[in-house]
Chains A and B, each alone.
Chain A
Amino acid sequence: MICRITDSPIDMDELTDSLDSPELGGLCTFVGKVRNHSAGQGVTHLEYHAYPEMAEKKMRQVAEEIEERFGVAHLAMAHRVGTLAIGDIAVGIAAASAHRDAAFKACRYAIDRIKQIVPIWKKEFGEDGVAWVEGCAVDAETAEPQKAQNQRV
């Protein structure tokens, strides 16, 4: 299983190749790319920051949750940090199982959950200035997300 924070470009072939096994008939991938707009404003580039040790630990937690929920144990997830240009891959996920349904569910859950509990931050640079994009504040007592407002800096 790959759960990785990296400052190098994400290679989707590496992620999918890592799940190559004769019993796996369904393989689903998600590729998150840097978009040229956000909340109606143009975006020129992004910076991703992480707490790498905790981020990889929380990615492993996401993988455990997926195995419990969907019985999918074949996962590969990588999130990039550093300065990214429009079109760069920020996050790559691959999930494989015997049949397609579980693979789709696992892949969807992985990206949604990464956005909730994995300590990674996005700073947007655009025509409207610079802003930390603050999607999910984590409620300390429950360790679960609550909605947050973007913080202009």
Chain B
Amino acid sequence: MKIRVKCFAWAKEVTGEDEIDLEVPEGATVADLRESLAERFPVFSGRMESIAVSVNQEFAGEGTPVDAGDELGLIPPISGGCA
């Protein structure tokens, strides 16, 4: 199935897109999303552990299911506020 993933900050810059479409198997999880992402954009491979995935606006662990209807996002390390 095809899923649509929002890209932010560094992720938006390296993909050149606000949103990307990825192909994952039926019953896929966040781990499958990452595998598909790294295949399509190898630049993510080296720093995947610093990129969080959000599912419906919540941070999601590797086993979280992802579905075509979910709102998915790639969340690089954040730096809000002001020191």
- Does B81 sit within 8 A of A, measured CB to CB? yes
Contact status A33-B58, CB under 8 Å: no
Task: Please give, as numbers and ranges, the residues of chain A lying within 8 Å of B13 by CB-CB distance.
Answer: 153
With A119-B75, A136-B77, A138-B52 already in contact, the answer to whether A49 and B8 are too (CB < 8 A) is: yes
What residue of chain A has the Cβ atom nearest to residue B55's Cβ? A140
Task: Please give, as numbers and ranges, the residues of chain B lying within 8 Å of A79 by CB-CB distance.
Answer: 80-81
What residue of chain B has the Cβ atom nearest to residue A34's Cβ? B82
**Interface mask (A50-91 → B, CB under 8 Å = 1, otherwise 0):** 110111010000000000000000000001000000000011
Task: Please give, as numbers and ranges, the residues of chain A lying within 8 Å of B75 by CB-CB distance.
Answer: 51, 119, 138
Task: Please give, as numbers and ranges, the residues of chain B lying within 8 Å of A134 by CB-CB distance.
Answer: 10, 50, 76-79
- Does A133 sit within 8 A of B, measured CB to CB? yes
Contact status A51-B73, CB under 8 Å: yes
> How close is B80's CB to chain A, nearest CB, in angstroms?
3
Contact status B57-A135, CB under 8 Å: no
Contact status B79-A120, CB under 8 Å: yes
| Complex Cα spacing A131 to B13, Å | 12
Contact status B8-A51, CB under 8 Å: yes
Query: Number of B interface residues, CB 8 Å?
Result: 30
What residue of chain B has the Cβ atom nearest to residue A151's Cβ? B10
| Complex Cα spacing A54 to B62, Å | 19
Q: Which residues of B contact A (CB under 8 A)?
A: 6, 8-10, 12-13, 30, 47, 49-54, 57-62, 73, 75-83
List, sorted by A's number, 14 A–B pairs whose CB atoms are closer than 8 Å.
A32-B82, A35-B82, A51-B6, A51-B73, A79-B81, A119-B75, A119-B78, A121-B8, A132-B10, A137-B49, A137-B51, A137-B76, A138-B78, A139-B52
Q: Which residues of A contact B (CB under 8 A)?
A: 32-35, 48-51, 53-55, 57, 79, 90-91, 111-112, 114-123, 132-141, 143, 148-149, 151, 153
Q: Which 5 residue pairs are nearest across A and B when measured between Cβ atoms?
A: A32-B82, A120-B80, A134-B77, A148-B77, A121-B9
